[in-house]
Chains A and B, each alone.
Chain A
Amino acid sequence: MAQFRLQGTKVLAATLGGGGDTVKAKNGSMVAYDGEMAFKKLSGGGDGVRGMVTRRLTGEQMTVMEVKGQGTCYFADRASDISLVRLAGEKLHVEASNLLCTDGGLRTGTTFTGLRGASQGNGLFTTSVEGTGWAAVMSDGPAVLLRVTRDTPLQVDPGAYVAHQGDLRQSFQSGVNFRTFMGEGSGESFQVRFEGDGVVYVQPSERNTLGGDV
């Protein structure tokens, strides 16, 4: 299994031990490597034909490459901050655009998230990562990890949402009222509410969202 560590906060170093160790990374995110590496583009997110069609249909496209070899490979993308997640059988939900690299042994798929995606302009689906191994998640600015418990649900701006883990239900919360249509909207009309037990990753920045100006 490939080992991940951070070199600073914006570069991921993945150590591959040879013998079939692979990682899947965002296409073009390799910045350097030592040892022997082979890069192979995986069409349509690397989940086979079915995954490719699903990704295309759901708008969660990823251009992914498979890296195989022996040595250390360094990944970075637009100086985004990186958080490492170690999975031991759990599932991680992440925006496709925020996923930098996963262990080759992890399964990726698409899950329906409900209405959250609609306000975000990037679809109704997120990418799920499941299995045992490392995953690296990118954020604009260092991610803040917020715990959700049964007593303390969390509301997140869709533009700041990066990923979540655990047993969480999400629902879409809208504060749209007649004022919104009178041009007196609050700019915070759409939120995603997380309930249950788990951790949500938010970034200190907002993507441009359809709901952002409302």
Chain B
Amino acid sequence: MTSQTPHGSAPQDYQVFDAATLPANDNVNPYAFSVDLDGQWFLQKGKMIAYYGQIDFHGIGHGRLDRLVAGSFHSPLHAADWVVAEGRGKLLLADRAFDINSFDLEEGNLTVRSGNLLAFDPALSLKQSIIPGFLTLIGTGKFVAASNGEVHFVEPPVRVDPQALVGWADCPSPCHHYDHQYMRGVMGGVRAMTGLGGASGEEHQFEFVGAGTVLIQSTEMLLEDRATGQVPHQAGVPGDGSGGAGGPGGQLPGQLGGLQRRLGL
């Protein structure tokens, strides 16, 4: 317990920021980020909490932003969730009091869960990952992401819990890993399907190999996914719903194959 004197927390002890003292492209506190805007930035709808200066917000659609969108956005359909902030000033971003981190990419690439990405510099280009629900940023520039609890950086080889995964940089895409000892056979199938018989909830991980960095958050509470747009309905394109291996009705990522198939029926 830390105890303060009764006068220890007078309002003048709180730091009061103004247009000049707000940090430039840095965190104000772990939950709010200040962008020094001179030009344009992309941000997710509804994440601006305050700003100084002259800034306009435009929904993304047809018009004079077309060229910018074409250059930095490669999925026309999920553009509806994004806004372009344009002008000069200091812009404060926050997301439901989640932890906020900024990342600098230098001629790099980073794939992040769609719900975690908050804002990015248009010098980067945003593309849909072939893994459903993830987005990939490519190029050089800064972006801001939210996470539930602090972000930790780990290096492959590593296996991570699916709900704790925020994203990964520079390494090949992950694959599913199952605890085979536990999942094998009829009982394993029953356990996995029903949770009966003592499933630990940790039979399935994402496995990363190769060189790069994996970003994990400190809880297993996911941030709500944002639509990433549809992918073309084409043979060979994962995630278009007409999937090859999933069979009729499709299959959620991470879900196990049907019980019949496990039993070889």
* Interface residues, chain A, with chain B CB atoms under 8 Å away: 3-8, 15, 83-86, 140-142, 144-149, 152-157, 159-160, 175, 179-180, 182-189, 199-200, 202-206, 212-213
Residues in chain B near residue A186, CB distance under 8 A: 45, 57-59, 83
A-B contacts, 17 of them at CB < 8 A, read A3-B6, A4-B9, A6-B4, A84-B11, A154-B51, A154-B52, A155-B55, A156-B50, A175-B57, A182-B61, A184-B60, A186-B57, A187-B83, A188-B48, A188-B85, A203-B94, A204-B95
Query: In the complex, A153→B10 CA distance in Å?
Result: 25
Chain A: which residue is nearest B51 at the CB level?
Answer: A155
Instruction: Output the residue of A8, A183, A187 with the most chain B CB within 10 A.
Output: A187
B234 at the interface (CB under 8 A from A): no
Cβ-defined contact, A85 with B11, below 8 A: yes
B195 at the interface (CB under 8 A from A): no
Cβ-defined contact, B3 with A7, below 8 A: yes
Residues in chain B near residue A15, CB distance under 8 A: 6
Cβ-defined contact, B10 with A145, below 8 A: no
Cβ-defined contact, A187 with B61, below 8 A: no
Residues in chain B near residue A179, CB distance under 8 A: 58-59, 61
| Given known A-B contacts A85-B11, A186-B45, A186-B58, A205 and B96 have beta carbons under 8 A apart | yes
Q: How far is the CB of A197 from chain B (nearest CB, A)?
A: 11
B28 at the interface (CB under 8 A from A): yes
Query: In the complex, A186→B58 CA distance in Å?
Result: 5
Residues in chain B near residue A180, CB distance under 8 A: 59
Number of interface residues of B (CB under 8 A): 46
| Given known A-B contacts A202-B49, A206-B46, A5 and B96 have beta carbons under 8 A apart | no
Name which of B15-23, B199-207, B223-231 contacts chain A.
B15-23
Chain B residues 122-159 with CB under 8 Å of chain A are none
Query: In the complex, A182→B92 CA distance in Å?
Result: 27
Cβ-defined contact, B57 with A204, below 8 A: no
Query: In the complex, A206→B96 CA distance in Å?
Result: 6
Cβ-defined contact, B9 with A152, below 8 A: no
| Given known A-B contacts A5-B9, A145-B17, A146-B16, A204 and B31 have beta carbons under 8 A apart | yes
Cβ-defined contact, A212 with B94, below 8 A: no
Cβ-defined contact, B46 with A144, below 8 A: no
Residues in chain B near residue A175, CB distance under 8 A: 56-57
Query: In the complex, A186→B42 CA distance in Å?
Result: 11
Cβ-defined contact, B3 with A205, below 8 A: no
Query: In the complex, A155→B91 CA distance in Å?
Result: 10
Cβ-defined contact, B80 with A184, below 8 A: yes
Cβ-defined contact, A160 with B18, below 8 A: no
Chain A: which residue is nearest B17 at the CB level?
Answer: A146
Residues in chain A near residue B16, CB distance under 8 A: 145-147, 199
Cβ-defined contact, B46 with A212, below 8 A: yes
Query: In the complex, A112→B15 CA distance in Å?
Result: 29
Cβ-defined contact, A145 with B14, below 8 A: yes
Query: In the complex, A83→B11 CA distance in Å?
Result: 8
Chain A: which residue is nearest B50 at the CB level?
Answer: A156
Query: In the complex, A3→B52 CA distance in Å?
Result: 35
Task: Choose from B14, B61, B85 the contact partner of A83 (Cβ within 8 Å).
Answer: B14
Query: In the complex, A212→B48 CA distance in Å?
Result: 11
Q: How far is the CB of B249 from chain A (nearest CB, A)?
A: 31
Task: Choose from A7, A141, A199, A202 the contact partner of B50 (Cβ within 8 Å).
Answer: A202
Chain B residues 55-114 with CB under 8 Å of chain A are 55-61, 80, 83, 85, 92, 94-97, 100
| Given known A-B contacts A140-B97, A141-B97, A160-B94, A184 and B61 have beta carbons under 8 A apart | yes
B32 at the interface (CB under 8 A from A): yes
B29 at the interface (CB under 8 A from A): yes
Cβ-defined contact, A203 with B49, below 8 A: yes
| Given known A-B contacts A5-B5, A152-B19, A184-B60, A144 and B95 have beta carbons under 8 A apart | no
Residues in chain B near residue A7, CB distance under 8 A: 1-3
Chain B: which residue is nearest A199 at the CB level?
Answer: B16
Chain A: which residue is nearest B6 at the CB level?
Answer: A3
Given A152-B53, A159-B49, 9 additional A-B pairs, CB 8 A: A6-B9, A7-B1, A85-B11, A144-B32, A156-B49, A159-B46, A182-B61, A204-B100, A206-B46
